[in-house]
Structure formats: structure tokens, C-alpha cells
Structure 1
Amino acid sequence: MAKNQVQQRNLEKRKRQEEKLQKKEKELKKAVKETKNLKSNHKKGSPFLDLFKKEKKRYTIEDTIPYKKMYRNGICYVGEGKYNKLIKYEDINYQLALEEDRDLIFNQFAGFLNSFDSTTELQLSFVNQVGRIKEMENAITIPDKGDDFDEIREEFREMLKDQLSKGNNGLKKSKYIIVSTRADTYEQAKPVLERIEIDVLSNLKSMEVRAETLIGIERLKLLHDMLNPDKVFDYDGQGLEDRDTRKLIMPSTFKFTSPKYMQMGNYICALSHFQILASELSDRFLSEIISIEDNMYISFHIHAIDQVDAIKMIKRKNTDLQKMMIEEQKKAVRAGYDMDIIPSDLNVYGNDIKNLLTDLQSRDERMFYVTFTIMNLSKNKEKLENTIAQISSICNRNNCALKRLDHQQEQGFMSILPLGVNKIEIKRQLTSSSTAVFMPFTTEELFMSSNTSLYYGLNSLSHNLIMADRKKLKNPNGLILGTPGSGKSFAAKREMANAILVTDDDVIITDPEGEYGSLVKQFNGEVIKISAKSKDYLNPLDINMNYGDGDAPLKDKANFIMSMLELVVGGSGLTAAEKSVIDRCLPKIYKDYFENPIPENMPILSDLYTLLQEQEESVGRKLATEMEIYVTGSLNVFNNRSNVDLNKKLICFNIKELGNQLKKIGMLVIQDQVWNKVSSNRGANRATRYYIDEFHLLLKDQQTAQYSVEIWKRFRKWGGVPTGITQNVKDLLGSAEIENIFDNTDFVLMLNQASGDREILAKKLKISPFQLNYITNSNAGEGLLFFGNTIVPFVDKFPKDTILYQKMTTKPEEVEQKNE
């Protein structure tokens, strides 16, 4: 009986299944019939035609460039209601900064990413272009002036071009930020993008990043140069908004015939994406890739996920994980195991998700969709594959993978252009901190395209040319520091020569070792030998109507004369009575000159000496007695009217043979002559560069030290650019006045340093351990350049087969060879 019941139930079940299949069959037949009717209507011109007709479109080269319109102000419309702006930014020192500074920059960049909400899309674009030497050559042009030095200018131009080409193979690196938003019309998008632009520039400024927004013609030039690496963009911007500008920038051909390659004009290109597998990444990962010296375009698309949606998504994943853990626990119980024994990866994922949820809810973290793509291009396929292999090696070393975009080359190409368009669906979810690891900053460049910029070598990290104009600094005062043989004198001479060739500045040198005479003669300068035997004379009482601040020249001159007389009386200082007597005498000895300012009326020391003797007070006669050796005695070298040409563009004061008794006074007198020169040049709106070798000697004595500090404090207002040169850094740093010198110095060229000096300088100038490597046992011409807030490691391998090198070198073997 029971058997019959089972059979009956099976029959009923089979019957129901058959009925279900018959129903499905009827539905299928009905659908087929309807499809046939639709096909019939389609042939007869049915209104349903558009629903089934496959669109046939002829694709052109322009269609691969994914934008619709470029506006003159730089806003670009890429279609589907999406508009964007492009901001170009310059690099800052990150890799070489102190650890606490790197942490600050990292947190600031993470905060910068957090400032974007889900309505704004962000793209970071990195463009490395080889062969754009011509544009950089235009920035280093030194025009001829029709004087005796045009031949040297030609040599210097060729040297700069040679340094440019061999230094980085003409590699031009640029970095951009593209911000996109969606709007129904251009009028609605414009104020939104302007607000975003202000926020981005403000955030970058807080990180001390210089940035500017590109206008339409500049964006077109960038796109043109990326699409046509060998061509020059010559569009002037006329009618920009009224034409399809894609025709102006497109290459001759696009070919997407291979799954792994595309062709763009004469270049073979390969598009790839980065697969991030590592749980942790180094903040040097991106910089390692960007540092490769080859043509490549890198794009980093970042889109913020709404915070509420991100938290919900993580909670869902947490719930799914908990379900999986419960299932694993059930399996364990059924198998007779302890329910706490579950796969270790579930435990790890569970902890990761909990930490992630905590980060999102209470640690100011955001979630982003990130797509990281790269385009390599070359005329040679083998070279292209070598570069890709190099990048792949960097990825493997960082536990990531470089994957080719097979059959997606065109989509990858559209995504790589700095247009805010992402056609690649491969996205990775990352938090703010994880995204900030792709630090877009490496090392700061120093290339000022001003026509008065001077050459300082090549950036040791990027190999880019260093060109800068000290006069653009808030305080152009400078120091050149280095051990013997490190190249400090050569660096000073190179800057002097460059300034003479490029600028109209006057150059004055204090030369304690007689090292600069050859260079000065090369440029038709005046070498003034100051010694007891010399017939070249400087009058310490020289004055001009613009001396000092110009309002009271005699008042400023009195300060110098008193400083000089303090040295005369042994450096013990003048009493109040002595100062009063001197102050009484000075107007009298200058009276004739101020009434009739001719050279014959300029007073000399013997005039002051005689007048002091005539004073009623004994202090006057005492001062005269102490001055006697400098007036009528054996040290009377400064008791003469000046008989040298102080109007030359280049003047060198050679004090090598000036005895120890006169050296301090001599250096003080020279500084006063510099004041005279700067005062007269100020009226002519001409800068005066003043170089002081063995600068530490001036800071040893109170009088010369105080006078030097005055120069460092006041020269800038008058167009003066002083530079101290020394190898005795310990003596320099031991001066009581060094703080004032450093506080008023924005330019420091630092070469190899002794270990004791390095420690002091590192503390005083906040030099990181990474930066210290560049001044530790470094070769001649290598070191660090401090230019305002910019710190650049440099190397200067000046060609030895040039006229300038032969005139500048101080190496004994080369000087001897030159004189043979």
C-alpha cells in the first residue's frame, strides 16, 4: 500500500514538471512569433525600426580625442554634462625633506584629497616628454650685446645647451591636476569650477606648491605636444571657441589594430594599468616610476565615494563576512571541530574591515575609486618593451603588477589624456591615506626662465638644468661654503662670469688670495692691488652725495670713520669724548668738498689728523697720535686720494700682500668703497654684486663684523647683492654676528663639508639626513643649493675645454698647465 502511494506521488510530480515545461514551450513559441512579426515590420519600415537598428557611424581621428569644446578661459566640455579645468603645479621637496616635514606634507595631501566630495572628479596627470629641448633652449638664450664678450657668450650658450642635452636627454617633466564637475550648461559649470579652482590653489599654496590654471590655448598646446611629440604647436588662439580645435592637435594617424599596442603618428604606444596587490605601499613608488627618463604619460583618476554610501558598503561587506564565518562555524560543528577554528584569512579580513569602518567613522578617512593607468610611447618597439619591463620591475618590487590593457588600448588612451575622462572600468577602492601614498611630489626643480637667470648646474635627482635669479628672492644675500678643493671659488667665479654676460650688474670682489685676477682681466675689469708697496690707492674718506640713505651722507660716513678709528686705536672702542671730537671735525674737513665736489677737494686722513691735533681737548691730540703711523708712518697706504678707476663694471681688490697690521682696516676700507659704488648705482637703477672671499675674517673683529651685518641688512634696499665665500665654516659659525647673517640670507650654495661643520649646518639650516648625503665626501662641484624655501641637490661638471673654464680654474695642476 505504501509502495503504491509513493508511485502515485512520483507520477503527480512528473506530471507537474511536464505541465511546467509545456508552459515554457508555449511562452517560447509566442516570443519567437512576436520576434518574426517585429522583423517583418522592420523590413516594411516599422516605427520599431530604431529600436533594433544598429547604429552605423564612421569614426574619425577626432573621435579618439574625448572632448567636445575648449573654452578660451580653460574650461573644457567633454560631453555628458561634464566640464573641467586644468591646473599645472610645480614640485616640492618631499623625498629629501626631514621626516617630520614628510609627515606634514603627507597629511596635507591626504587632507587635500578629502576636500573633494562625490560630485567632483579628480585626475592627477604626469607627462614626461623627451625631445622638447628647443622649448628649454629658448629659456636659456643669452643675447649678444655687441661688446667684447659676444664670443664668450656664444661659448656659454653652447655649454648650456650641451648641459641641457646630456643632463636629461631633453626630458621635460610636467605635473597637472584636472578637476571635473557635472552641470546642465556651461553657465552653471563655470562658477562651480571657479570655486573648486580657488580651493585647489589654496590647498596647494598651504603645501608651498606653486600652481597656475591653464587657459584654453595652453591646454591645447599641452594636448598637441602629447599627441605630436616631434611637432611644434603654432596656433595663435584665434576663433578658439568657434571651431573644432581637435583638428589642430590631432596626430596624423591613430591605429588600434593590435590588442597590446596602438600607433599614434610615428610612435608605437602601449597602455597599461597598475594592479595594486600590496597591503602597504612605499610613498616612493610613484616617484620611482616618474623618474624613468623616457616618454611616458601617467594618469591617476580619483573619484570620492559618498561617505554614507561608503560606510554602508563596508557594513554590508562586514555582514557578508560574518555570514561566511557563521557558515564556517556550522561546518566545524558538524565535522566535530571547535567552532572557533575558522580559516585564518577570514579573521584577517574581519579585522581589516573593522579597522576600515573605524577609520571612516572616526578618523577623517574617505573612500575613493582609483584607476591608475600609464602610456609608454617610442619609435622603437624594442626600446618601448625595455621601458615597460623597467616599470614592471618597479611594480613587482612593490608587490604590485603592471597589466597591459589588452583590447582596450583606445579606452586607455582616452583615459590617459589630461581631460578628466576615464574609460577604464578597472577601479580599486582606497582610503585617503592609501591614496595619499601615491605621493605626487618628489624633489623641487629650480628653473626660472627670466632673462637674467644664472646657471648653477644640474639637479642631482632629476638631471634638469638649474637656472635662477637671486634678485627675485626676498633677500638675495648669499653664502658659498665648502672645504678646500670642493669648488667654492670656481662656483663664485662661474656666477660672476654668468652675471657679467647676462646682466648689467656691476661686480666687486675682495680677493685675499689673488685668485680672481685672471678672470677680471678676461672681462676688462680693474684689478686694484692694495699693499704697502702698491701704487694703487684708496681713500677711506671718499664720499658721494648719495652715500648711505642719501639724506644725510655725512652722518652715515661718520659711522664708518668711527669704526675705522676703533681699529686704529686697537679695537678697544672709542670713548664718548673721542666720538664727540671726531664728529666735530668731520663737517670741517668736508666743507670744501660739499661746496665744490671735485676730486681735488676730497679730504684725506692727514686732513683729519691735522684737525685733531688742533683741538683743545687732549683726546683729540691722543687720537692724532694713535693715527700717526697710518698718516706719516710706515702704514700710510690709506693716506692718499683714490687714483684707480672705480667706475669699471668689474673691480677686484687684491689684498694678498696687505700685511696683517693693515688687513682689517683694508677690508673695512674696501667695504666702504662698495657702499660708495652701491650708493651711486642705486640712482642709476643698477644692481651691485659684492663677493667677499675668506668671509670669516670679517666676522672675527667686532668692527668689521658689525659693518658686514649692516651690509647684509641694508644692501637689498639699494640693489646690492653681497656674497660671502669661506672654507672655514667653524670660524664663520663661531661669530657672534652669524645669526644676523643667516637671518638675512636666502641663498646658500653649499659644497662638501667637514663632519663637524655638517652637524652645525644641519641644525641651523634644518638639513635632512638625505640631504646631508650630498655634502658628505662629495666631489668638486657637487652639493646643495638653498634658494629661498627651495633646496636642490646639484652637480656642476663645467666643460674643461672652454675659455671660461681656463680663466676660472684654481686647481694648481691646471693653473700650471695653463701658464706653460
Structure 2
Amino acid sequence: MPYIRLLKNGICQLDERHFSKTISFQDINYQLALDEDRDLIFNQFANFLNSFDPSVAIEFSYINQIGRNEEVQASMQIPDQHDGFDALRLEFREMLNSQIVKGNNGLKKAKYISFTVEADNLEQASAMLERLEIDILSGFKNMGVRAESLNGEERLKILHDMLNPDKSFTFSYKDLKGKESTKTYITPDMFNFTPNRYFKFGKFIGATSHFQILASELSDRMLSEFLDIDDNISISFHIQAIDQSEAIKMVKRKNTDLDKMRIEENKKAVRSGYDMDILPSDLVAYGEDVKSLLKDLQTRDERMFVVSIVFFNFAKTVQKLENTIAKISSIANKHNCKIKRLDHAQEQGLVSVLPLGLNQMEINRSLTSSSTAVFIPFTTEELFINSENSLYYGLNALSHNLIMADRKKLKNPNGLILGTPGSGKSFSAKREMANAILITNDDVIICDPEGEYGNLVKQFHGEVIKVSSKSKDYLNPLDINMNYGDGDAPLKDKANFIMSMLELVVGGSGLTAEEKSVIDRCLPKIYERYFENPCAENMPILQDLYDMLKGQEEKVGKKLATEMEIYVSGSLNVFNHRSNVDLNKKLLCFDIKELGSQLKKIGMLVIQDQVWNKVSLNRGNKATRYYIDEFHLLLKEEQTASYSVEIWKRFRKWGGIPTGITQNVKDLLMSKEIENIFDNTDFVLMLNQASGDREILAKKLKISVPQLRYVTNSNEGEGLLFFGNTIVPFLDKFPKDTILYQKMTTKPEEQG
């Protein structure tokens, strides 16, 4: 192991004068980005490379390892809760394990950049490395790439896992005794470099090779093709900038050499008696290339780099190892390049491939900035958040890797589920609900205008509240609790809701200032008894407000009372009762299918207020997930729309996670409040879209043409997932032979 010491802060001293640090970075969407965005990312990466001066050596390391994905394994450990649903949790764990096999989540993919400086001592090196670290992190941030510096323990773990594929890493700097070296904890049981073409380490056989560039042009997809191989593979790119004036001199010397060769060829032609303008084609091509290169270096923002590319593969048998190398060679050949085994230099190859920032390879190639940037390390972003609240959203349509995400980690967890009929919209919503019930402690509330969710709710022992003029389930719109709203003035927030409800009652242009004043005067009086003794019998109902308004001196009070009459003692008196349903269940569904058209708007507003109540009660203890189907209906009316926007703006700080579900995207987008909804939404699950809706959404959400394909004539359960700044194409073929599927499906023929 060619280093002197690896310190706790992540600095590795390679020899007396060389020191290195390592930064880990994530993937971003490059292959699916808009063409102009792809060009921008490519140019940003080329400029990023240009930012390194010749005194800094950099190494990009790409490491794929099978069976090292502890995060994925942790996400499978959904603990039993002894609540009657543990059989479903077992089935869910098995389903996730079977989904992993379809992708390469069993394969840990990691990307690192190590940077090495020369310094007289550790103090000087620390200052230089710190400045570089800030610059590199800033460069990644500009490209939209998440990156973080690694400490000593994290760097040692990478080295250990590469050299001990079958062992787990246990180390702490506290364990170091006296002058004991960290190398003790990372070296395998044995190394044997005696065979020329491969070497033995521990129980494995490894081989290192170098990548030979023969093609005149390279594809920016080549690196991603190597890294898509479902096998153990590590690739290191050692890149060292050449001083610009030296690079120009070098190219000019090459040009002079070619000029001499041209003169020699001209002389030869004259002596042989043929046209002196006829030159060998190679000489002409090289001459043009050199002139073009010189122009790039002098007039365009191009730099020269010396690049060494090393591959490292390992397996338990020579046969398996050779098979993997054959796969790599096949990809290289396709791109007119070669993989050449480092015969007699396996040890130097291994040292060069480790993310230490040390290159012992003597085989290299001079490339310009744009030629080096062709090996762009970005392909497609994965969405896998290792959290105890992460839910399953299907598989990445490109890599087939598991998508697990925790909306609580978003800046704004509010969400939308959009899709045409038959696209799998309701199923996606139900899958998230069921997942949340099995995995989290969250409460789940559903506003169900079509009576679609009753079956699921009953299966999970929830409460279905049928809100209609025929039903005996009652909701009191005047319900309040001491935490309602912001808690310090519950009646102030409740007054806003009651005003919104009465605006719907009176219709027309809404309430006048005088009417609002009269209502505001009455409210504290009807809640007086409840605030003195907060028990259910003292909770006021609409009748109390009606009586109070009727008794006011002003004519507007009597007018309001008359307009309310049909909702108090008339045929629409469904909301003039105290609540008689269990609103404390973990899963609640408000079924408003049979609520007449006159009451539907008020019904939806009352339900939103009950959700507000529940969220304020849960605040600080647990999250409340609220699903609103046919969400466009709420945004049609001014009162329900403004109340929805309040929910979208304020729920987060109380632990509320609202989700709007709709197939009528055009109606949704026509609402004047849609901007407020989109501005406060960081989660969008988009399934198949109608052509008109697609174009509007593409503009609003900046969807590229390649991404748009995933919501164009897509199959059921396929689409795009927007999670903060991450956009992932997904597909979810949920196994139909599971109990969970039977509980969630909306298709009558599939329901048992």
C-alpha cells in the first residue's frame, strides 16, 4: 500500500512531498436532458477540467461492486409491528427483493474524484487541499451535482472494500494502537503478483488493464456503457494538465516535424518525376489535425491533458474474470478502442486504480479538454433515499434500479399525481397510501369524490365516512381544537374557514364587509361555552350560528340567517349535527360520491377543515398525509381553491403532506391558483398524458423531449417522477399475485 499515513480528516500522505484528498459525487440526468442542457453540462464539465492547473493531479474513480449495497439491504428491513398486517409486510419485503433482481441495486455504484498536490509539509498541503476542495465542491454545485468530502474512515472503507470484497469493514481511529498503521485494517490476507496477466488477493483473482484510444472520435455514452455492466468493475482516469505555453510549443514542434516530412515527400516526388502536390494521405490528415489542434489551443478555451485510463476487474475464478474482461473489450472494440492487459505491471495497475490519487502507470495519452470531457461521468440520476420513511415508487425505467424516496426529506413534500384514465393514477396513489400505512406511523386521510378508496380503507381497518344527505355519518363544520391553526389564536383561523363556507352558502359575489363584521362578532359568543369547558357537548353547530345571526340587530344578520336556513333546518341540513364518527383512526376516507351537486363544494371545504383539525392535533407527533382525488374540482371554486392554496402553503410546518390527484390536467391548469400550487409542490408523479396537457406540462416543468416519451402513449404504471430537482423515469409492474395488489387494485375483475 503505497502511502505513509491516512489521517482522520481524510488527507492521505502518499510520500514525503505528495498529499491527496477524495470527494464523493452523485449522478445527474445527462442522457435524458434537453439538448441545450446536455451541451451546457458537457461544457461545464470541460471548464471544470480546465480549472485544474499543472500542479494538481486528479483521479476520477468509478467503482461498481456486487453485494456491497448496505443501503438497499437496510431498506428491505421493514420491521413487523404486530398490528395484524405483518403478513403484508413480509410479502412487501419479498416483493422488494424480487424487484432488486430486475435491476442492479445489488450493485453498489460510486463515483469519486481524488486530487493530489505537492507540498513541503502537512500544514502547507492542508491549506492547498482545502482551497482545492472548496473549488471542486463549487464546480460540482454549478453542474447541479451533489458532492461531499470524505474523511479518513470513509476513504479507508473504499480501499478496504476494493481489496476485501467478501469482508465487512470495522474500523475506528480510536482503535489505532501506538504507531500501528491504518494499512493493517485494509490489506487482504495475501497478495501474489507472480502470474504476469493477473494477480491473487485474498480469495479472489484480479486483473488490471489499460484503455487504449485508437478512434478519431469518441462517444459520450462510452463510459456509461462500461459502467452499465452488471459486474465488479473499477475504472480510474488519471488526468494531469499540461502548462498551456508548453502545450502550444509541443504542438508547434509537431507541426514543424510534419512540415519537414512534407518537404522530404516533395523532394522525393521531384526526383521520381511525379506531381509534388501528391502527398501520403496520413501525412495530410495528421497535418490538418495538428493545425486544428493548434487553433483550438490558441483561440478556443481548450487545454491539453495527459490522461491514463486503468481498468480493474476481479472474480473468484479465472474463467469468470476473463468473461468480464471480454465484455469490456467488446464495448471498447465497438468504439474503435482497445483494452490491453497490463502484463508484468499488474501491481502498478492496482495501485493506480485505487482512489489514492497516485498514478504508477507510464502509459498515457495527450487529449484536449473536450476530448477528455467526452468521458463524462454522468448518465441518469437514481432516486434512492435510505430512510426509515422511504416508500417504494417502482423501478427506474433506464437502469431498472429500485426507486425508494421519502417525501419528508423534500423542502416541500406537497405532491400531485397526474394521469389520463387507465394510466394507473389511482393505483399509484393507493400504493403510496398502503406503503405509508405499513412502513410509517403517519395518519392517512382521503377525500374520495368517486367512492374508489372504500375497499382499501376497509382492508386496512380504517374508517369510511359517507358524507351525504342520506347518510347517518355526520361532520360538524364548526369543530375546533385548542391547537387549530397556528395554535395561539385558534378562533382566528377558524373564522377564515367559516367565512369561506358562508361565501359558498350565499353564492354570488361573496360576503360584504358588513356581513363579515357581523359574523366575526357572533363567532366568539357561540364558542364561549366550549372554550370555558372544551367537551364534545359544548361544541357549537350551525344551528347556534344561525340563531345568533338571526338575533342580531342589523338586517344583514337576519339576511345571512335566512340564506343559511336550508343548511340548518331545510333539506340540506346534513352539516347541522355534531360529529359522530371516529376521526382518530390512522386511516380515514371521506366518501362524498352521493353528496348532491349543491352540497359537494361545501362538503369538500368541510372535509379540508376536518383535515386541518387533524393535522393541528398531530403536529409535532406525526405526519398527516392527505389525498384529494379529482383535485381540479377544488380549484374550480374561488373559496375551495384559496383554502387549498393555504393548505399547500402552510401544511409543511405542521407535518402535513397533501397530494392532489387528477386526470383533468387541463382543468387543473386553467385555475388561477395553479401557479401557487406548482410553486409549493416538490413531488409530481406523472403518468400517461393527453397530447395537449403534455405540451403545457413540458413547459411548466421543463421536461426534455427524451423525458416526454415516458408520458406519451405509455403503459399503465409508467411515467416520470419529479422529486425536488431529480427527474426519474419509472415503471411499476406491481406483482398481481400478491395480497397487497388485491387490496389496492381498482379493476372490478381483479378484486376478489
For normalisation by structure 1, the TM-score amounts to 0.88
Preserved CA contact (<8 Å) 2:448 2:591:
yes
The alignment-based identity, stated in percent, is 74
Once the two structures are TM-superposed, the CA of residue 241 in structure 1 deviates from its matched residue by: 8.2
The corresponding residue for 2:673 is: 737
Once the two structures are TM-superposed, the CA of residue 415 in structure 1 deviates from its matched residue by: 1.5
Preserved CA contact (<8 Å) 1:305 1:366:
yes
Preserved CA contact (<8 Å) 2:721 2:728:
yes
Counterpart amino acid of residue 197 in structure 1: E
What secondary structure, in the 3-state scheme, does the structure 1 residue paired with 2:168 have? coil
Q: For 1:382 and 1:529, locate their aligned partners in 2 and report how far apart those are by CA, in whole Å.
A: 66
Q: Which moved more, 1:190-199 or 1:132-141?
A: 132-141
Once the two structures are TM-superposed, the CA of residue 645 in structure 1 deviates from its matched residue by: 1.5
What secondary structure, in the 3-state scheme, does the structure 1 residue paired with 2:298 have? helix
The corresponding residue for 1:640 is: 577
The corresponding residue for 1:694 is: 630
- Give yes or no for the alignment of 1:130 onto 2:66: yes
The corresponding residue for 2:695 is: 759
Preserved CA contact (<8 Å) 1:87 1:212:
yes
Once the two structures are TM-superposed, the CA of residue 411 in structure 1 deviates from its matched residue by: 2.2
Of 111, 123, 144, the match for 1:208: 144
Q: For 1:483 and 1:388, locate their aligned partners in 2 and report how far apart those are by CA, in whole Å.
A: 46
- Give yes or no for the alignment of 1:725 onto 2:652: no
Count the aligned residue pairs: 751
Preserved CA contact (<8 Å) 1:71 1:241:
no
Of 82, 91, 112, the match for 1:155: 91
Of 134, 151, 158, the match for 1:198: 134
What secondary structure, in the 3-state scheme, does the structure 2 residue paired with 1:242 have? coil
Q: Which moved more, 1:121-130 or 1:589-598?
A: 589-598
Once the two structures are TM-superposed, the CA of residue 146 in structure 1 deviates from its matched residue by: 4.5
The corresponding residue for 1:630 is: 567
Tell me: CA distance 1:66–1:801, structure 2 relative to 1, closer, same or farther (3 Å).
Answer: farther
Q: For 1:163 and 1:662, locate their aligned partners in 2 and report how far apart those are by CA, in whole Å.
A: 45
What secondary structure, in the 3-state scheme, does the structure 2 residue paired with 1:698 have? helix
What secondary structure, in the 3-state scheme, does the structure 2 residue paired with 1:466 have? strand
Counterpart amino acid of residue 749 in structure 1: L
Tell me: CA distance 1:810–1:398, structure 2 relative to 1, closer, same or farther (3 Å).
Answer: same
Preserved CA contact (<8 Å) 1:70 1:241:
no
Tell me: CA distance 1:474–1:698, structure 2 relative to 1, closer, same or farther (3 Å).
Answer: same
Preserved CA contact (<8 Å) 2:105 2:402:
no
Preserved CA contact (<8 Å) 2:688 2:714:
yes
Of 724, 731, 745, the match for 1:795: 731
Of 40, 61, 67, the match for 2:3: 67
Of 25, 44, 51, the match for 1:108: 44
What secondary structure, in the 3-state scheme, does the structure 2 residue paired with 1:79 have? coil
Once the two structures are TM-superposed, the CA of residue 271 in structure 1 deviates from its matched residue by: 2.2
Alignment RMSD (CA, Å): 2.1
Q: Deviations over 1:155-200 (max 9, x none)?
A: 3333333333443261110111111112233333222222211211
The corresponding residue for 1:423 is: 360
Which runs of 5 or more structure 2 residues have no equivalent in the other structure? Answer: none
The corresponding residue for 1:345 is: 282
The corresponding residue for 1:34 is: none
What secondary structure, in the 3-state scheme, does the structure 1 residue paired with 2:694 have? helix
Q: Deviations over 1:605-632 (max 9, x none)?
A: 1222223333333333332222222111
* Higher Rg of the two aligned structures: 1
The corresponding residue for 2:474 is: 537
Q: For 1:676 and 1:241, locate their aligned partners in 2 and report how far apart those are by CA, in whole Å.
A: 61
Tell me: CA distance 1:694–1:371, structure 2 relative to 1, closer, same or farther (3 Å).
Answer: same
Preserved CA contact (<8 Å) 1:70 1:240:
no
Preserved CA contact (<8 Å) 1:72 1:240:
no
Q: Which moved more, 1:72-81 or 1:475-484?
A: 72-81
Tell me: CA distance 1:514–1:75, structure 2 relative to 1, closer, same or farther (3 Å).
Answer: same
What secondary structure, in the 3-state scheme, does the structure 1 residue paired with 2:636 have? coil
What secondary structure, in the 3-state scheme, does the structure 1 residue paired with 2:635 have? coil
Q: Which moved more, 1:577-586 or 1:425-434?
A: 577-586
The corresponding residue for 1:168 is: 104
Once the two structures are TM-superposed, the CA of residue 396 in structure 1 deviates from its matched residue by: 2.4
For normalisation by structure 2, the TM-score amounts to 0.95
Counterpart amino acid of residue 286 in structure 1: L
Preserved CA contact (<8 Å) 1:688 1:720:
yes
The corresponding residue for 1:432 is: 369
- The within-5 A match list for 1:549-698 is 549-682=486-619, 684-698=620-634
The corresponding residue for 1:287 is: 224
Q: For 1:259 and 1:753, locate their aligned partners in 2 and report how far apart those are by CA, in whole Å.
A: 58
Counterpart amino acid of residue 376 in structure 2: M
Counterpart amino acid of residue 567 in structure 1: L
Runs of 4+ in structure 1 displaced over 6 angstroms? none
The corresponding residue for 1:185 is: 121
Q: Deviations over 1:471-524 (max 9, x none)?
A: 121111101112222222222222222222333222111112222223323333
- The within-5 A match list for 1:21-32 is none
Once the two structures are TM-superposed, the CA of residue 338 in structure 1 deviates from its matched residue by: 4.4
Once the two structures are TM-superposed, the CA of residue 742 in structure 1 deviates from its matched residue by: 0.5
Q: Deviations over 1:417-446 (max 9, x none)?
A: 112222221111011111111001111122
What secondary structure, in the 3-state scheme, does the structure 2 residue paired with 1:463 have? coil
The corresponding residue for 2:444 is: 507
Preserved CA contact (<8 Å) 2:629 2:662:
yes
Counterpart amino acid of residue 730 in structure 1: K
Q: For 1:240 and 1:93, locate their aligned partners in 2 and report how far apart those are by CA, in whole Å.
A: 45
The corresponding residue for 2:185 is: 248
Preserved CA contact (<8 Å) 1:71 1:240:
no
Once the two structures are TM-superposed, the CA of residue 531 in structure 1 deviates from its matched residue by: 1.0
Once the two structures are TM-superposed, the CA of residue 80 in structure 1 deviates from its matched residue by: 5.5
- The within-5 A match list for 1:209-608 is 209-237=145-173, 238-239=175-176, 242-608=179-545
Q: For 1:132 and 1:771, locate their aligned partners in 2 and report how far apart those are by CA, in whole Å.
A: 30
Q: Which moved more, 1:246-255 or 1:749-758?
A: 246-255
Q: For 1:556 and 1:218, locate their aligned partners in 2 and report how far apart those are by CA, in whole Å.
A: 50
Q: Which moved more, 1:355-364 or 1:206-215?
A: 355-364
